[in-house]
Amino acid sequence: MTDTRPDEKPLLVTVLVFPGVRPLDVAGPIEVFASANEFGGRYRVRTASPGGIDVVTSAGTGLSVDLDAAHVPYISDVVIVPGGPEWPTLIKDDTLLRAVKALETHSRRTASVCTGAFLLAEAGLLNGRRATTHWRFTGELAQRYPQVSVEADALFVRDGSIMTSAGVSSGIDLSLALVEEHRGVDLARAVAKDMVVFMQRPGGQSQFSVRTRVPPVKQEVLRRVLDQAAADPSADHSLAGMARRAGMSTRHLSRLFRQELGTTPAHYIEQVRMEAAQAMLEGGDDPMASVARRSGFGPPESLRRAFMRNMGVTPGAYRARFRTTGVSAETVDRAGCSRSPTPDAHDMPLA
């Protein structure tokens, strides 16, 4: 079991909550830090709300609160700002925005989950920074706040003392990165394994299976072709081979792909094979030649070209991402500096 040094002081995490907050935005990060404590992480997590009142979440469930956000009696190592489905209304709540600013002023790092980025942006905390949010709202974030450099496909973005993350589950990715930053990669990896999640999900915000994210197809023969490709990516899935098994011309099969899937047979098969190769790289140490052959790419160079084309990284770099959350290499922010700790902050009382 991973453990921290016995003389290390607890890291203080404050999670902002408010009426209409999305429950998973809150629970995901809290669960990461709670799991880290099982492996010696030494986190102390408290919830805070404007006025210190208990809140009702967007799911209609009650959430008890520990502290008044305006009077948190310590310097937080991390402040988590979650989002909510009614974010257009939330960003007009002056009391909530004052709470965001108050917590950020007394924290070493402030991190948003999902549409919590809009609260940070409205409070002026993202001006001149890079940021992200849920893929459905990245365009809206960029349009409303032109002074923010929005990275639409990132799972999370770190810019100085501010971190922002994408959809609701990416709050877990962000929190794992914080655990690695604070307590090291071994502890973060232990937490990821305990929670059965990736250390770092590659490929941006699109994380769904190729076969499950295509629209339902009407033609039974096309369904069989797709199922065969998913079942054995290394088989002969050339246009001629698929057409022969389907009992139709190559021209007709191409037309079905365009009509029902909006893509070409070649592109679809490449995505299936990419997914197969990703799974092999994520879960083992097979030689690249074996990964290339079993995923249907053939020679390793074909695998490499496909990864560069689709992911922008080599297969080796992709595999390496599953050994770290990626945050450990980034020891300073873009300006080459980080926020200095406040002396004796940990000695301040907890409510």
Estimate to the nearest angstrom the gap between the alpha carbon of 333 and the chain centroid: 19
Residue in this structure with the two tokens 């257009």, named with its chain if needed: 88
Distance in angstroms (rounded) separating the CA atoms of residues 250 and 43: 60
Say whether 337 is catalytic: no
Please pick, among 114, 117, 172, 276, the residue that the annotation labels catalytic: 114
pLDDT band at residue 255 under the 50/70/90 scheme? very high
Predicted local distance difference test score (pLDDT) of residue 99: 97
Q: Tens digit of pLDDT for each residue in 309-333?
A: 988 889 998 888 766 656 544 433 3
What DSSP state is assigned to residue 123? T
What per-residue confidence (pLDDT) applies to 109?
Answer: 96
Considering only residues 316 and 230, tell me which one the structure prediction assigns the higher pLDDT.
316
| CA 122 – CA 106 distance, rounded (Å) | 18
CA distance 97 to 137: 20
**Distance of alpha carbon 69 from alpha carbon 80, whole angstroms:** 12
pLDDT tens track for 335-351: 333 333 333 333 333 33
User: What does the pLDDT look like over 40-86, one tens digit per residue?
Assistant: 999 999 999 999 999 999 999 999 999 999 999 999 999 999 999 99
Place of tokens 């203080």: 12
What is the Cα–Cα distance from 196 to 188, expressed in whole angstroms? Answer: 12
pLDDT at 246: 92
Which domains does the chain carry?
A: 11-200+326-347 (3.40.50.880), 210-322 (1.10.10.60)
Which tens digit of pLDDT belongs to each residue from 111-125? 999 999 999 999 999
Does residue 208 have a pLDDT over 80? no
In this prediction the pTM is 0.62
203 band by pLDDT with thresholds 50, 70 and 90: very low
- Please give the Cα distance from 151 to 138 (Å, whole number): 8
